[in-house]
Chain A
Amino acid sequence: GESVGLHLPTLSVQEGDNSIINCAYSNSASDYFIWYKQESGKGPQFIIDIRSNMDKRQGQRVTVLLNKTVKHLSLQIAATQPGDSAVYFCAENPPKGYSTLTFGKGTMLLVSP
């Protein structure tokens, strides 16, 4: 909902720009990572995932990069559109259990027309 965006880092871009959203994860043993998008008033929606044996994965207009050395994930959105405005979360699957995901705090992306 609307309160999700409070206290979050914000990235403001112009329509058509490329956006890069960064995430630091906590557990070096995590082997699976997901990016979620959350629009106001809705639940998180899957965007793209990546396994720890990869360092890059591409989807439609999105690319996820994984740097295990520094425990860093990034989400790149090409040709950002106003409909991309949302809060973006990374999530990691630490080894404590199948399907248990630990979420980052999120970044709000604001796209101006």
Chain B
Amino acid sequence: EAQVTQNPRYLITVTGKKLTVTCSQNMNHEYMSWYRQDPGLGLRQIYYSMNVEVTDKGDVPEGYKVSRKEKRNFPLILESPSPNQTSLYFCASSPTPGTGVNEQYFGPGTRLTVT
């Protein structure tokens, strides 16, 4: 089954404790992206990656890091989480750049709470 998977689905942590949220897709997509979703603010892009070893900042990158060492994986790293990073996070992937197909497939979400 074609899908985007995220782990963990739920995470409660404390301020300053490094964490990683994993994202994996099995559709051989080149493009991957991370979003956060907050009430009243909608979906905002954190980082995206056009291909392996290519990453770029989205609209709200502060406090986050990403890496793209393999095509299928795009982990989101919070080196020192803070309470304002409490949110619902979504990973998404999209087919080959240049084809004009921009539909993004979303994972199930990770609900993060930082106390």
Contact = CB atoms under 8 A, between A and B. Distances in A.
Contact of B108 (A6, A43, A93, A99): A43
Contacts, number: 71
Contacts of B90: 43-44
B43 to A, nearest CB: 4
Interface in B30-89: 31, 33, 35, 37, 39-45, 48, 50, 56, 58, 88
Given A42-B109, A43-B90, A43-B109, A99 B42 contact: no
A43 B48 contact: no
B31 A99 contact: yes
A101 B111 contact: no
A16 to B, nearest CB: 29
B20 interface: no
23 contacts: A1-B109, A4-B88, A34-B102, A43-B108, A45-B106, A46-B104, A46-B105, A93-B102, A97-B48, A98-B31, A98-B50, A98-B97, A98-B98, A98-B102, A99-B31, A99-B48, A99-B97, A99-B104, A100-B48, A100-B58, A101-B102, A103-B35, A105-B40
Instruction: Report the 3 A-B pairs with minimum CB-CB distance, sorted nearest first.
Output: A43-B106, A7-B40, A6-B39
Interface of A: 1, 3-4, 6-8, 32, 34, 36, 41-46, 49, 89, 93, 97-101, 103-106
